[in-house]
């Protein structure tokens, strides 16, 4: 008879078919799950994110126990809790006297290093399993990357379509095109009825977690209540079903839209559930495809949704592991300013920034265009140090885990990797925000004005960014023309724009906000 083993399950590994739980002896092996202070505080995670992760972990422990597993669950409040993965795994090894630990490779380098340290310190056998909840393995991504001069998502995505057979008609994409993004940039009509994500009443267990988070992490960013995230697998399923039925049809058309007071639009708000393992990405995509097949959702929506998951989500993970630990320190544009305090308070006269930050505070959620073209764009134009921006995104969103957050922030949003991930910087003036949203209508700033005290800050900051970074940007064929446009401006116009940007930046640096 084989000897019992300790099977470690981390807070983002809440999947019954997890590789570490396979070929196990449920009657003798022990599953270790641990709430630890170190994970809760290595950045000041949003209170709702903490409550979500701890509640989902507790719910998963119950699910496992119900399926006959022995679960050693360490609560944060346990007086013996050492507060770290290292301490808790060591303590559990001692408690149970096991000689073998099985775990799935953690999703963050930081945590991988912890497991390696522990393995080197003890004489217990450590068996690491691949995280096969992703569609593309690390090895497969590396092989794809080796054959490519430019690592563009679009090419990778086509490989994933072929591999999964999603939306394929033989060797060709259904609809004759791989990508329907050009159909996906509609402004929202005022009379459109907007769906809302399904919201859930906290269970007794979740209510207890809310109390604990409130008492222990009261200095952390964000509002804890109302807390409505699904935390069990069955509620996650209900949330996914509601999205597929009610929001997916409009997902494509309005993917890039933003509207005052509407936090979710047609977005799924499923990323936290996918990232902790309560939903399976491939299964979700197959169900989206079935909506198209049944005639309930149009192709541009279904293709767009599937691309985000089998394309972007898998691609950013591949990039994270392909690049070394230095990736998160990248700073190709030499941006060095501090992150302004307004990112934590939401207090600013810029209506777009206020909306994105305030809803982030309330919900630990903002949709992609708010992250990329509002808060990300502003940080890029201001020249904020990418690492500070990275730590903010990692802390404030319920879906933030470094493997997915860092490439999106460092690469896509801040262009700090010099264009490895994005073919050009996502830099835009107020005109873009005005086109895709109704924020500018109620803003104190004038989106049409470029200079003057009440000119939209994005306008002068945009040109200041082009001027400041022109030697790097000139090398990018998609930016060279914009650099030339800057150089063709009259010296007076250049001076006025740069003066407006400089006084705005100085104010924000001094006061942490434009107010
Ligand atoms: P939907 O719009 O409904 O999209 C469906 C799903 O596609 C998402 O749930 C998500 O799993 C996936 N997806 C969409 N875009 C991306 C993308 N660019 N990268 C990876 N997956 C994607 N996503 C995270 O999951 N965690 C993060 O920490 C994170 N940080 C980001 C930071 C910045 C600066 C930017 C610009 C984007 C970031 N994203 C992150 C990507 C994206 O913004 C979120 O996945 C999305 O907003 C989640 O909301 P949703 O579930 O409603 O997405
Ligand atoms: C994000 C997070 C938090 C806040 N807390 C825990 C925890 O207490 N226990 C746990 O197992 N995981 C937690 N996580 C997720 C981890 O920080 C980490 O992101 C993943 O394990 C990926 O390596
Ligand atoms: Fe944002 Fe400028 Fe529009 Fe105000 S005017 S909402 S600052 S883009």
Are 26 and 115 within one domain?
yes
CA of 408 to the centre of ligand 3 (A): 23
Are 359 and 490 within one domain?
yes
CA of 39 to the centre of ligand 2 (A): 5
CA of 399 to the centre of ligand 2 (A): 12
Cβ–Cβ < 8 Å for 413, 407 = no
Assess whether the C-beta atom of 301 lies below 6 angstroms from ligand 1.
no
CA of 368 to the centre of ligand 1 (A): 6
The CATH number assigned to the domain holding 160 equals: 1.25.40.80
Closest ligand by atom to 239 CA: 1
Are 57 and 188 within one domain?
no
The CATH number assigned to the domain holding 483 equals: 1.10.579.10
Are 462 and 502 within one domain?
yes
Residue 155 has pLDDT above 70, yes or no: yes
Rounded CA separation 159/510 (Å): 49
pLDDT at 1: 60
Average pLDDT over residues 38-56: 98
CA of 363 to the centre of ligand 1 (A): 15
Which comes out higher in pLDDT, residue 100 or 189?
100
CA of 34 to the centre of ligand 2 (A): 9
For residue 101, the 8-state DSSP code is E
Picking from 76, 45, 137, 18, the residue whose alpha carbon sits closest to that of residue 400 is 45
**Phi/psi at 34 (nearest 5 deg)?**
-140, 130
Average pLDDT over residues 393-412: 98
Are 316 and 378 within one domain?
no
At residue 453 the predicted structure's pLDDT band, cuts being 50, 70 and 90, is: very high
Return the structure tokens found at 52: 């979500």
Residue 218 lies in a domain: no
Residue 250 has pLDDT above 80, yes or no: yes
Assess whether the C-beta atom of 399 lies below 6 angstroms from ligand 1.
yes
**68-82 confidence digits (pLDDT tens):** 999 999 999 999 999
Residue 482 lies in a domain: yes
Task: Give the ligand 1 atom nearest the CA of 271.
Answer: 9
Are 301 and 348 within one domain?
no
Average pLDDT over residues 393-419: 97
The CATH number assigned to the domain holding 12 equals: 3.40.50.620
pLDDT at 3: 79
Average pLDDT over residues 322-351: 97
Q: What is the mean pLDDT of the chain?
A: 96
Residue 67 has pLDDT above 80, yes or no: yes
Are 106 and 239 within one domain?
no
Are 146 and 70 within one domain?
no
Assess whether the C-beta atom of 447 lies below 6 angstroms from ligand 3.
yes
Cβ–Cβ < 8 Å for 257, 186 = yes
Residue 231 has pLDDT above 90, yes or no: yes
Are 458 and 421 within one domain?
yes
Q: Give me the residues paired with residue 73 across strands.
A: 33
Residue ID of nearest Cα to ligand 3 atom 3:
440
Residues, the chain, total?
A: 515
Assess whether the C-beta atom of 501 lies below 6 angstroms from ligand 3.
no
Are 293 and 410 within one domain?
no
At residue 192 the predicted structure's pLDDT band, cuts being 50, 70 and 90, is: confident
Residue 216 has pLDDT above 70, yes or no: yes
**Angle subtended by helix axes 153-164 and 138-146, to nearest 10:** 130
Are 113 and 150 within one domain?
no
Q: Which of the listed residues 105, 129, 153 is the one where a domain comes to its end?
A: 129
CA of 488 to the centre of ligand 1 (A): 38
Are 469 and 368 within one domain?
yes
Ligand 1 probe mutation, 399, 400, 417, 428, most atoms within 8 A of CB:
399
| Structural domain that includes position 244 | 138-201+232-322
Average pLDDT over residues 247-253: 94
Ligand 3 probe mutation, 347, 349, 350, 441, most atoms within 8 A of CB:
350
CA of 401 to the centre of ligand 2 (A): 9
Ligand 2 probe mutation, 8, 9, 10, 92, most atoms within 8 A of CB:
10
CA of 222 to the centre of ligand 1 (A): 19
Residue 341 has pLDDT above 80, yes or no: yes
Residue 315 lies in a domain: yes
At residue 186 the predicted structure's pLDDT band, cuts being 50, 70 and 90, is: confident
**279-313 confidence digits (pLDDT tens):** 999 999 999 999 999 999 999 999 999 999 999 99
Residue 489 lies in a domain: yes
**Phi/psi at 191 (nearest 5 deg)?**
-85, 5
Cβ–Cβ < 8 Å for 271, 6 = no
Ligand 3 probe mutation, 358, 443, 444, 504, most atoms within 8 A of CB:
443
Residue 208 lies in a domain: no
Return the structure tokens found at 513: 């906000």
Residue 101 lies in a domain: yes
Residue 216 lies in a domain: no
Q: Which of the listed residues 129, 156, 187 is the one where a domain comes to its end?
A: 129
Q: State pTM to two decimals.
A: 0.97
How many domains does the chain contain in total? 3
Neighbouring C-beta atoms of residue 303, cutoff 10 Å = 28
Residue 207 lies in a domain: no
Rg (CA), the chain: 24
At residue 193 the predicted structure's pLDDT band, cuts being 50, 70 and 90, is: confident
Q: Which of the listed residues 80, 105, 129 is the one where a domain comes to its end?
A: 129
Residue 314 has pLDDT above 80, yes or no: yes
Which comes out higher in pLDDT, residue 274 or 1?
274
Closest ligand by atom to 435 CA: 3
**166-185 confidence digits (pLDDT tens):** 999 999 999 999 999 887 77
């Amino acid at each position: 008879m084989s000897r019992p083993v300790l099977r470690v399950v981390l807070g983002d590994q809440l999947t019954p078919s997890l590789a570490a739980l396979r070929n196990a002896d449920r009657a003798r092996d022990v599953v270790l799950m641990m709430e630890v202070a170190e994970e809760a505080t290595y950045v000041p995670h949003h209170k709702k994110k903490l409550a979500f992760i701890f509640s989902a972990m507790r719910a998963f422990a119950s699910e496992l126990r119900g399926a006959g597993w022995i679960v050693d669950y360490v609560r944060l409040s346990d007086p013996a809790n050492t507060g770290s993965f290292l301490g808790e795994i060591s303590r559990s090894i001692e408690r149970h006297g096991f000689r073998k630990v099985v775990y799935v490779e953690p999703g963050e380098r930081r945590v991988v290093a912890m497991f390696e340290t522990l393995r080197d310190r003890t004489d217990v056998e450590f068996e690491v399993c691949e995280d096969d909840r992703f569609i593309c393995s690390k090895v497969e991504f590396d092989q794809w990357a080796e054959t490519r001069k430019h690592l563009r998502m679009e090419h990778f995505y086509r490989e994933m379509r072929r591999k999964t057979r999603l939306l394929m008609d033989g060797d060709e994409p259904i609809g004759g095109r791989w990508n329907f993004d050009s159909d996906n940039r509609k402004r929202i009509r005022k009379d459109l009825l907007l769906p809302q994500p399904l919201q859930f009443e906290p269970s007794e267990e979740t209510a207890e977690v809310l109390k604990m988070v409130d008492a222990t992490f009261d200095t952390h960013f964000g509002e804890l209540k109302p807390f409505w995230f699904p935390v069990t697998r069955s509620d996650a399923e209900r949330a996914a079903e509601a999205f597929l039925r009610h929001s997916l049809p409009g997902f494509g058309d309005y993917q890039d839209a933003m509207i005052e007071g509407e936090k979710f639009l047609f977005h799924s708000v499923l990323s936290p559930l996918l990232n902790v393992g309560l939903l399976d990405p491939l299964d979700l995509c197959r169900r989206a495809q079935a909506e198209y097949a049944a005639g309930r959702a149009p192709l541009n929506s279904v293709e767009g949704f599937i691309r985000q998951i089998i394309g972007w989500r898998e691609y950013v993970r591949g990039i994270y592991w392909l690049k070394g630990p230095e990736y998160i320190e990248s700073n190709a544009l030499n941006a060095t300013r501090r992150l302004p305090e307004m990112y934590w308070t939401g207090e600013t006269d810029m209506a777009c920034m206020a909306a994105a930050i305030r809803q982030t505070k309330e919900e630990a959620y903002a949709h992609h265009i708010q992250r990329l073209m509002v808060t990300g764009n502003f940080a890029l134009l201001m020249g904020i140090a990418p690492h500070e921006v990275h730590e903010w995104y990692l802390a404030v969103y319920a879906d933030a885990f470094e493997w997915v957050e860092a490439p999106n922030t460092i690469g896509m949003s801040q262009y700090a990797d010099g264009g490895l991930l994005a073919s050009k910087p996502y830099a835009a003036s107020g005109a873009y925000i005005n086109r895709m949203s109704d924020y500018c209508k109620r803003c104190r700033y004038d989106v049409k004005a470029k200079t003057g005290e009440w000119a939209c800050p994005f306008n002068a900051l945009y040109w200041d960014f082009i001027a400041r970074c022109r030697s790097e940007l000139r090398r990018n064929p998609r930016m060279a023309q914009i650099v030339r446009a800057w150089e063709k401006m009259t010296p007076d116009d250049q001076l006025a724009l740069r003066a407006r940007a400089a006084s705005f930046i100085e104010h924000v640096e001094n006061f942490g906000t434009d107010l």
